Chains A and B, each alone.
Chain A
Amino acid sequence: MDWTAIALSLRLAALVSLILLVLGPPIAYWLTFSPRRWKFLVEAVVALPLVLPPTVLGFYMLVAFGTRSPLGRAWEGWTGHPLAFTFEALVIASIFYSLPFSVQPMASSFSQVDRTLLEASATLGAGRTRTFFRVVLPLSIDGIVAAAVLTFAHTLGEFGVVLMVGGNLPGITRTVSIAIYDQVQALNFSAAHQTALFLLAISFAALAIVYALTRKAWGVSPAS
């Protein structure tokens, strides 16, 4: 088994999950509670990676990371090396690629919080931030955990985007799925079997956790 690739994938998936645990809730909160009419546009943008071929997303990411784009130039000026084909490029691309897997479970559980609880919180003197941390977030823990687990599993298994923006550099950008692809290309089926089985086991465990958690945690609904 390609332990270097497995370690790299685990590191990438953990990092992306952590970052989206911070970036996801504000986006999900805005999508759930904003009265803006045009928020459907943002919803569509967030959901795009669900339907877009990974190569398309990867292609645009590669263009954005290139030395001719403002982002690529800024990065190079700041760090001294180009962004494309680095681990950092994988992280940034994966954040966009896994955004819907993080935001949608969060938004769905935020929207299930009884609005009367938010009004009660307001009449008790709590502003929006306090209401979010004391009421919305604790009542959406299952959605937050589901988001983190799904992001982790999704990032672990990505292929197309990684190949486009990261290439295939051992120890830097070669993830598990690319390692499997290489093993199959080299007709090394027993190694491919082992790595694939490992990915299958982790994906199954992740989904089992999500489904176990989405059972309601509180015996009584707020209304009763």
Chain B
Amino acid sequence: MTLSVRVNTQLSPQFQLELAFDVEPGVTIVFGESGSGKTTLLRSVAGLIRPAEGRIAVGDRVLFDRRAGIDVKPSDRRVGFVFQQLALFPHLTAEDNIAYGLSGLSQAERRTRTVAVAESFRIGRLLGRRPSEISGGERQRVALARALVTRPDVLLLDEPLSALDQATQSHILADLRSWNESQQIPVLYVTHSQREVFALGERVLVLRNGSIAADGTPQQVMEAPAHAGLAQLAGFENLLDAVVMSRRPDAGVMVTRLGGTTVDLETPLSSARTGEAVRVAIRAGDILLATDRPQGLSARNIIKGTLAGLCQEGAFVKATVAIGVPIEVHLTPLSRDELRLQTGQALWLVIKTHSCHPVSAV
């Protein structure tokens, strides 16, 4: 079954949500910063808010159609929703929470289905406990089980794993993926975590300011962002203004000069013409630092600079190197200590051609 969404609604004078897309069964990630319209999209599909215009359908079942005057109640939509705050009923046990949506069935069948879904999400032994008596990861599993046991036609997940540690997240993602292989329904999974995008998604919709900024596989969208704004969103700490100096289509590369400097940077070829302005996106973790000019490397960009600042942020150290423009580089505290880095000292930056991503400047 295909989930088809066309919504257009003005939520505030500054913010308009205008989206049109279809998703097939499987996990589609909805990615974007806060305020981009992700949660509003999910709430429209679930019927918790009413868009001003549009049509939402699952297969040939219309859930909302403004022109035809159709607005199916949330309780009749068969749309599963896992809320960011989970919204488990605090006064009910895990079992009663999971069975909540099965009111039409006989007691025996409710029990059977509840136990089955609890086993597949590894919470069978917790069924008698209340939400306050289990861990955060276990609560997450109960919330997923509660939404899935009703066999919804569509599943909506609003940053369901954001509060969990990475190991717990991975286990739950694996269970969710294997469950979805057997059920095959459209799943919209909202997140702002890149790791979750790669771990789960077959397709990514990137939302920005209420509209779709990019749509493709995680690799297409996240590795080679087409827009500068998207690059910032996808975790490229360095976004540098540059001009294309020369192009070598035979080698698949081009040379760009960073704005306000005489520094040339070799990047993969883009559609930008010679003389055209581009921006080059580079992840801070993709840049190497050397205290002497390195020899015999395959990397094509070796640039001299001066260490302008050092500060530790949790598990990594953020170094700022001036090469005419400031460049952010991430390294480990051990590397910092072994290199005996001092502010003001000369350094060489080593950047592979394919770590430089030219994106369109607008």
Query: Total contacts A to B, CB within 8 angstroms?
Result: 75
Which of B78, B87, B146, B147 is the one whose CB lies under 8 Å from A117?
A: B87
Contacts of B47 in A (CB 8 A): 122
A114 proximal to B (CB < 8 A)? yes
Docked Cα-Cα span, A119 to B80, in Å, equals 11
Within 152-201 of B, Cβ neighbours of A (below 8 Å) are at: none
Instruction: Tell me the interface secondary structure of chain B in the complex.
Output: loop
Binds A, one of B12-20, B88-96, B353-361: B88-96
Binds A, one of B68-76, B217-225, B274-282, B321-329: B68-76
How many of chain B's residues touch chain A, expressed as a range?
20 to 34
Complex contact B46–A125 (CB within 8 A):
no
Complex contact B100–A121 (CB within 8 A):
yes
Contacts of B75 in A (CB 8 A): 122-127
Complex contact B100–A218 (CB within 8 A):
no
Docked Cα-Cα span, A126 to B104, in Å, equals 10
B85 proximal to A (CB < 8 A)? yes
Complex contact B132–A126 (CB within 8 A):
no
Complex contact A124–B150 (CB within 8 A):
yes
| A117-B89, A221-B90, A222-B88 given; A122·B132 CB < 8 A | no
Complex contact B100–A123 (CB within 8 A):
no
B305 proximal to A (CB < 8 A)? no
B83 proximal to A (CB < 8 A)? yes
Complex contact A220–B146 (CB within 8 A):
no
Complex contact A124–B100 (CB within 8 A):
yes
Complex contact A125–B81 (CB within 8 A):
no
Contacts of A119 in B (CB 8 A): 46, 48, 74, 81, 83, 87
Q: How far is the CB of A142 from chain B (nearest CB, A)?
A: 12
Contacts of B73 in A (CB 8 A): 122, 127
B101 proximal to A (CB < 8 A)? yes
Docked Cα-Cα span, A130 to B85, in Å, equals 22
Docked Cα-Cα span, A122 to B150, in Å, equals 13
Q: How far is the CB of B146 from chain A (nearest CB, A)?
A: 7
| A122-B48, A122-B73, A125-B101 given; A218·B90 CB < 8 A | yes
A219 proximal to B (CB < 8 A)? yes
Complex contact A124–B131 (CB within 8 A):
no
Complex contact A222–B80 (CB within 8 A):
no
| Residues of A that sit less than 8 Å from B by CB | 114, 116-117, 119-127, 130, 134-135, 138-139, 218-223
Besides A135-B89, A218-B132, 6 other A-B contacts (C-beta < 8 A) = A116-B87, A124-B150, A126-B75, A126-B100, A218-B130, A221-B90
Q: Can you sample 8 A-B contacts with CB below 8 Å?
A: A119-B48, A119-B74, A123-B81, A125-B78, A126-B100, A127-B75, A134-B89, A139-B91
